Structures are given as C-alpha cells and as structure tokens.
Structure 1
Amino acid sequence: MRETVYGIRTRYVEAGEGEPVVLVHGGGPGASGASGWARILPLLARHFHVLAIDLIGSGHTDKPLVDYSFQTLVDHVAGFVDALGLTQVRLVGNSQGAYVAMRYALDHPARVNQVGTIATATLATAVGLRDDGRAVPLPAFDGTRASLVAFMQAIVNDRAKLTDELIDARFRSASLPGHREMLDSLWNYRKLVTEDPDQQQVFEVRERLTKLTVPWCVIWGADDRTAPVETLGAGLRELYPRVPFHVVEGAGHQAQTDQPQAVYELLMNFFVRTAASAG
C-alpha cells in the first residue's frame, strides 16, 4: 500500500482488522517494514490492524536528498499517522525505530495508547547510557550483497531466518537511488549528536521519559551482540524500574525475527494487561 505523507510517497504493509498498531523498523542497509517485521506481523494481525511503514529514505518510500536526522523519521511517522486518520495508535519499534516510536509518543502522548520497544541502543544512548565497549560494531555496507549479508548476520542470530528471499529483498531496497545517501546523512547526524550540545539536547530524552504517561515496555534479545543487554538493556531497566522489561532467550538484535512467537506473546500480554489496567 502507498500513502502520501507531506508529499513523500510512503510504502507500508498492512494486515488484520481492529485497533491500529504501527510497526517502526530499525536502520541499516535495505531496511523496510516488510523485511523488519515479516515474521511477527501476521501474528499481531490476528488481533489488530497492523501497519509496517517504510520510513522516509528506506524501503520503497521516497528518498529525497535532504539532511536526515532522527527528527526527520519522527516527523514522517507523525505525518503517516495523520494521513491515515488514525486518532490513537499502539507503536512497536526495533533498534533505531524504537527511539523513533518513543519520540513520537513523547511528542504526541494523547495519540498513543502503548509503546513496545525492542533492543534499542539508540534509546539507551538518548538517556545517557554507554555499552562499555562490549558491543560488536555493525559491518559497513559497501554496496555489495556480501556486505549486506554480513550486516544481517550481525543483527539476526538464527541463520535459518536469513533466507535468500529476505536478503534479496533487502539488497534490492539497499540498491535503490537515494538510499545510501540517506544512510550516509544519518550517520553524519549521529556523529553530530556526539559533538554539538544543541543537537544533544534535542536528541536526549532521559528526563522526558520520567514524565511520560504512555505505558511502554522493553524487550531485548539475550544474545544481542550489537546492543548488549548486560549494559544497555540493564541500564534502561535500572533507570525506569516500573517499565516492564523482558529478555528473550535465543534472540539477537532483531528479536522479532529470531523469536517471533516469544516477542508476539510478550507484546500481547503487555497490550492486553495494560489496557485492562487502564480500563
């Protein structure tokens, strides 16, 4: 499906009926809603109207040559929700997408019912946490299929889930004009955040999260090599002890791909229990 968001032709995958759940994929070469959420989307669609967006610059959404920042992605999600006329949503984000989902909730709390975050070094960094050098660096993408395979092997631990279909789909997306320029621009922004105090105060959310009234939860793969649960995940748990925190055994950074059933059950329990408590 396609929708125009602030003039940006936006691709998304949808399934199911009921209350809307917007899935926000992580970063990296060839990322998209379909490739990031393929294994869990049909499970959630048993109960919800699920929409997996291709963020601006990724997947089959337009890739304008602009200066990208995390706020660019947040604004795109906001426009997407508005364009579809969704008055209230649940959000689930993975990695960088979890930060985007949380920032949307912080900026638009009245529009959000709940937020599920999955393995997010970006959010952890935005509250002042560091990995103490334990994280395995993500392999650089040089435009080749081999480098994309190396990247995927770093974020998905179950090699059986890295099918030729998945790799080919991500490589096609990664090869589209404008995608590598987006990756480079966002990488430069990440560097700027570490150097520019003005950008840091826009990026950081530590104090804002303490005041957030929207329920949120944290899910993390026990074997996440790129965002270690022992440092980043544990740090979030310590800072926000009232936020439900779950570790998924046998899962890496993309826990929803490694262990979709387990992540689905955790999300459903959170959605149902929190909704019942609110009621």
Structure 2
Amino acid sequence: MGHYTQFFTTPDGIRIAYATLGQGLPLIYVPPFLSHLTLKWESPWFRSLNEALAAHFTLIRYDRYGCGLSDRNRTDFSYDVDVRILAALVDHLRLRRFALLGISDGGPVAVHYAVQHPRRVSHLLLYSFNCKAWDPTPTVELLLQLMRADWRVGVNGR
C-alpha cells in the first residue's frame, strides 16, 4: 500500500496535511496531541495499524494543526479549533457519512464532532481515551447527550 500526503487550506487559511489509504467506508483517524504523517508511516507499528485499517476502510489521517506537516503557527489549543479543522477536512473531502476513530487526545475532538454532526458519523470509535486528563464534565456530558439522542449511534454507531 502506498502513502501519499496531500494538503488543503481551511476557510480561515490554515494549511493541513492529510493522507488517504485503502477503499471502503471512510474512517477518519483523529490525531492525538502530537502527529506527523510521514514519521508515523515510517514506524513499523503505526504502519501495520494503518494498513490493517486500510484493508477494510478508506483511512483518512491528518496532522493536527500545530504538528507534523500542517501549519505550526498555532496559538489557540482549544477543542473548538480542532473540531473546526476536522469539519473543514470533512467538507474538503465532501464526505457525507463516515466513521471517526479518536485515539488518546483525538477522543474528545471525535466526541465533540459527533455530537455536533450525529447524522454524518456512522461509527464513533474511542481508544485509550481518558476524559480525566482534561476537564471531563463537558466531554462526558456530550457522550451522554449522544447516547440519549440515539442509543445505537452513541454506543455502537448503528
């Protein structure tokens, strides 16, 4: 499988690096606190994870704003910025429905996006996600809202 990095610019002028791999239902890997598309691709562990995911999905990875190959002049590190970047990527790729994978610090971003756009998110996968590292109340409340709105989406994405 090949790895090819591309770039897009958000409506507010931020340049974000992203890469796609595989075919099938789109799966967006929301990056953790630090990311670098090229360096992670060169890591045997991350590469095997990416290839395993890409065997079943169109895996979409991107560098978090302020990291890796994306613009690094970031000064606002709020979840709102990260959710806006994710929304801009979705719009850029013209995705209608897709799954989200939030690992570590990517978890709260995935949860916030899923609550704002529940009809677009087919599955919400969270791994190594600990609300206690941040202010847990807003993220936990958002998860509960999502489960109350549609138990199937909140629990297993169906």
Same fold by TM (over 0.5)? yes
Normalized per residue, the structure richer in strand is 2
Secondary structure at the aligned position of 1:39 is classed as helix
Q: Distance in 1 between matches of 2:70 and 2:129?
A: 23
Amino acid at match of 2:143: L
Whether contact under 8 Å (2:108, 2:139) holds in the other structure is: no
User: In the alignment, what sits opposite 2:3?
Assistant: none
* 2:143 matches 1:209: yes
Q: Write out aligned runs for 1:1-16 (5 A).
A: 1-6=6-11, 7-16=13-22
Number of residues of Structure 1 aligned to a counterpart in Structure 2: 143
- Secondary structure of the residue aligned to 1:51 is strand
What is the RMSD computed on CA atoms of the aligned residues? 2.3
The SS at the match of 1:82 is helix
Separation of aligned partners in 2, 1:86 and 1:117: 20
Query: Could you say what secondary structure the match of 1:215 adopts?
Result: helix
Q: Helix, strand or coil for the counterpart of 1:38?
A: helix
| Counterparts of 1:123 and 1:76, CA distance in 2 | 24
Return the alpha-carbon distance in structure 1 between the equivalents of residues 70 and 131 of structure 2.
22
- Alpha-carbon deviation of 1:65? 4.0
The runs of at least 4 consecutive aligned structure 1 residues that moved more than 3 Å come to 122-128
C-alpha displacement at 1:124, in angstroms? 6.5
CA deviation after TM superposition for structure 1 residue 33, in Å? 4.3
Between structures 1 and 2, the one with greater helix share: 1
Q: Does residue 23 of the first structure (1) align with residue 35 of the second (2)?
A: no
TM-superposed CA distance for 1:56, in Å, is 0.9
For structure 1, the 5+ residue unaligned runs are 129-203, 217-242, 244-273
Residues 55, 77 of structure 1: 8 Å contact kept: no
Alignment of structure 1 residues 60-139 onto 2, 5 Å: 60-122=69-131, 125-128=134-137
Q: How does 1:1-279 map to 2 (within 5 A)?
A: 1-6=6-11, 7-28=13-34, 31-33=35-37, 35=40, 37-122=46-131, 125-128=134-137, 204-212=138-146, 213=150, 215=153, 243=155, 278=158
Question: What TM-score comes out, normalization by structure 2 length?
Answer: 0.78
Shift of 1:83: 1.0
Please name the residue that 1:231 is paired with. Answer: none
d(CA) in 2 for partners of 1:93 and 1:39?
Answer: 18
CA distance in 2, matches of 1:76, 1:68: 12
Post-superposition offset of 1:88: 1.0
Amino acid at match of 1:3: F
The alignment-based identity, stated in percent, is 29
Deviation string, structure 1 residues 230-265 (Cα, Å, up to 9, x no partner): xxxxxxxxxxxxx4xxxxxxxxxxxxxxxxxxxxxx
Report if the CA contact (8 A) 1:25-1:33 is conserved: no
Aligned-pair distance for 1:208? 2.7
